[in-house]
Amino acid sequence: MWSPPFTPDPDAAFPGPLGAQSPPPPPAVMLLLASLLLHCLPLAMGDYDICKSWVTTDEGPSWEFYACQPKAMSMKDYVTVKVEPAGITCGDPPERFCTHENPYLCSDECDASNPDLAHPPRLMFDKEDEGLATYWQSVTWSRYPSPLEANITLSWNKSIELTDDIVVTFEYGRPTIMMLEKSLDNGRTWHPYQYYAEDCMEAFNMPPRRVRDLSSTSANRVVCTEEYSRWAGSKKEKHVRFEVRDRFAIFAGPDLRNLDNLYTRLESAKGLKEFFTATDLRMKLLRPALGGTYVQRENLYKYFYAISNIEVIGRCKCNLHANLCSYKEGGLQCECEHNTTGQDCGKCKKNFRTRSWRAGSYLPLPNGSPNACAAAGSAFGNCECYGHSNRCSYIDFLNVVTCVSCKHNTRGQHCQHCRLGYYRNGSAELDDENVCIANVCDDEYLLCQNGGTCYQNQRCLCPSGYQGVLCDQPLCQGEEGQACDPAPCASPHLAAFLGSGLLLWLAGCLGY
């Protein structure tokens, strides 16, 4: 989240006894103090930008983990933009357009084939020189009364967390109606984020509301605002905002200094953290600026959209398991700590799945909880389910914690055993989904009969004179060379087994 900048005082002196100034420490000591300051300062400020620290305890040196997150940055440097529908960008074919200041002097031209007159989507994200605005522009509303609508989709192919206001800069007037949407699943589904209109009741059947007037229980409410849609002249009021800071200020105060309370609310208030998370944003431009009047059909070339800049400040969402996020192979990627992996550090590494993955937590302050993934036998394996369960239950009278609803054909307090009818796959680790596979025999429940031995849980090695899956059928010849009558079926207690065990018992009875 956003935090106030820290500016050290270069003239500050080391205090000495009784207020006297001490002589400066040797360079080596200064270097040590500086490193300690840089190491400890972020934790003291609550920025959560250190993931681990090497500490020494009575039991020896080891890593101490903290909740951590990347620094906020300009996300427009990593965005992919898509403008729809096809043909909504001006210049193909070339056309003239007017401005609201001079609606009858239509001397400006948009021509996609001329670099000096083109207005492609990339100009919403370029660096503007000498204050000269470069901008994307739509076609004019020459087909009125058909709606002039445009969708601008920003995609990161990565979950990001907003840390400051989204600011969209319009040239030649802000839209009278638009809405902002967000997606959490890379554009598969969309959800309203904020509505903007000159008249909210007319446009969206919603009463107008200002974000700064929301309460702590409605901080993640989707509202309609009229603040950014009324005509104020093309040279003024170019910006349309999605107010992240005002929502943070509900908990952190107007100057955003009470970050502890903000972090606490982000953890405790249902849906609040997710409200500031997105993989994609989409602006739906529904009606252009009208110049403060009704639509003048005699001059439709002054109605269009033009955007010179879209600023999105945020950070990679790494579930509090990384403090670095890099641009690799065409996309953003968390550099995961805490034995986690994945684009968002959303799962445990192999061999570190002794308990189900969990996101880190801002709490308890100031360092948070890393909820690190752990290997078997480590200090973090409080209830080791080896990735086969995400639920635990405390049995009071036994004073133990046990895994609940073990998956992948496992069972036991820690899902460390195989269910009846399955045996341990010796080639798989305990945290492998295929650790338990169907068995033919074992040395505990599915016993080989008549002195037979179970070979690698795969088949019974039968002694001379017997055959069958469990060596339960005699193989003999009488004096006349006739086969003996089959022995009775194997012990009926096998019928108690489920699944493959029951089928194998039936197969033995039927002589297969």
| The residue type at 279 | T
Beta-carbon contacts of residue 396 (< 8 Å; ≥ 6 apart): none
Q: Specify the length of the chain in residues.
A: 512
Over 80: is that where the pLDDT of 485 sits?
no
pLDDT value at residue 17: 29
Q: Calculate mean pLDDT across residues 391-406.
A: 72
pLDDT value at residue 235: 60
Highest mean pLDDT among 243-247, 396-400, 470-474: 243-247
Over 80: is that where the pLDDT of 277 sits?
yes
Residue with more model confidence, 2 or 195 = 195
> CA torsion sign, 371 to 374 to 376 to 377?
negative
Cβ neighbours around 92 below 10 Å, total:
13
Mean pLDDT of the chain: 81
pLDDT value at residue 233: 65
Phi-psi region of 180 (alpha: psi -120 to 50; beta: other; left: phi over 0): beta
Assigned domain for 357 exists: no
pLDDT value at residue 128: 75
Residue with more model confidence, 91 or 104 = 91
Among 310, 311, 312, smallest CA distance to 136 is for: 310
Range scoring the smallest mean pLDDT among 49-63, 439-453, 474-488: 474-488
Out of 268, 288, 316, a domain closes at 316
Assigned domain for 304 exists: yes
Q: Is there a single domain that holds both residue 245 and residue 152?
A: yes
Among 496, 509, 502, 510, smallest CA distance to 439 is for: 502
Q: Is there a single domain that holds both residue 263 and residue 399?
A: no
Q: Confidence band (pLDDT; 50, 70, 90) for 476?
A: low
pLDDT in tens, 312-345: 999 999 999 999 999 988 899 999 999 999 999 9
Q: Is there a single domain that holds both residue 84 and residue 141?
A: yes
Residue with more model confidence, 299 or 129 = 299
Of all residues in the chain, the percent with pLDDT exceeding 90 is 51
Out of 275, 298, 316, a domain closes at 316
Over 80: is that where the pLDDT of 16 sits?
no
Over 50: is that where the pLDDT of 20 sits?
no
Q: Is there a single domain that holds both residue 114 and residue 77?
A: yes
Rg, the chain, Cα only: 34
Q: Calculate mean pLDDT across residues 195-201.
A: 97
Assigned domain for 344 exists: no
pLDDT value at residue 174: 95
pLDDT in tens, 217-266: 999 999 999 999 988 765 668 999 999 999 999 999 999 999 999 999 99
Question: Taking the mean position of all CA atoms in its chain, how far away is CA 87?
Answer: 34
Q: Is there a single domain that holds both residue 302 and residue 192?
A: yes
Q: Report the C-alpha gap between 299 and 410 in whole angstroms.
A: 74
Q: Is there a single domain that holds both residue 130 and residue 253?
A: yes
Residue with more model confidence, 206 or 98 = 206
Highest mean pLDDT among 4-8, 96-100, 205-209: 205-209
Q: Is there a single domain that holds both residue 308 and residue 445?
A: no
Q: Is there a single domain that holds both residue 246 and residue 203?
A: yes
Q: Is there a single domain that holds both residue 178 and residue 155?
A: yes
Out of 264, 292, 316, a domain closes at 316
Q: Report the C-alpha gap between 387 and 477 in whole angstroms.
A: 53
Assigned domain for 13 exists: no
Q: Is there a single domain that holds both residue 241 and residue 206?
A: yes
Total number of domains constituting the chain: 3
Domain extent for 431:
381-438
Assigned domain for 44 exists: no
- Answer whether 346's CB lies under 8 Å from 424's CB: no
Q: Report the C-alpha gap between 496 and 512 in whole angstroms.
A: 20
pLDDT value at residue 495: 34
pLDDT value at residue 26: 54
pLDDT value at residue 234: 54
Assigned domain for 34 exists: no
Q: Is there a single domain that holds both residue 392 and residue 290?
A: no
Q: Is there a single domain that holds both residue 394 and residue 458?
A: no
Assigned domain for 426 exists: yes
Assigned domain for 155 exists: yes
- Side-chain half-sphere of 68: how many Cα atoms within 13 Å? 24
